[in-house]
Amino acid sequence: MLEEWRRRIDEIDEQIVKLLGERTRLALQIGREKRSRNLPLRSPERELEVLARVTQAGNYTPLSTEAILKIYRTILEETHRLQEKDARRSHPAGGTDAEADETSPRGA
């Protein structure tokens, strides 16, 4: 039974990573669209909406509100970091091509 549960957790972890990748790719597209419209990359109002929504959704899990907020703040920070990196790559005022391309799938 223990091995079956661990196998299932491994499968779920793989799904989570794939979903995070999909979420990040969409956020990068949003960042590019914002830049094309001369909008700021970061939207504090939207971030608050996301945190409120996931906190509400978290009410149906054994995770604490604090744990969900910590996870999603990390996701939002990493997304913002990658959007900034993508912006520097598009307008190389300080970025270099030697940096690893974190916005592309690994191994691509």
What is the 3-class SS of 6-22, one letter each residue?
A: HHHHHHHHHHHHHHHHH
How does residue 91 score in pLDDT terms, banded at 50, 70 and 90?
A: confident
Q: How far apart are CA 94 and CA 87, in angstroms?
A: 11
pLDDT above 70 covers what percent of the chain? 84
Please report, for the chain, the start and end positions of each structural domain, with discontinuous segments joined by +: 2-87
- Residue 24's pLDDT band (cuts 50, 70, 90): very high
- Cβ neighbours around 88 below 10 Å, total: 14
Contact in structure between 87 and 27 (CB atoms under 8 Å): no
Mean pLDDT of the chain: 89
The correct answer on CATH 1.20.59.10 for the domain covering 2-87 is yes
CA angle (92, 84, 107) in 5-degree steps = 85
pLDDT classification of 1: cutoffs 50, 70, 90: very high
| H/E segment holding residue 2 | helix 2-36
Model confidence pLDDT, tens digit, residues 48-76: 999 999 999 999 999 999 999 999 999 99
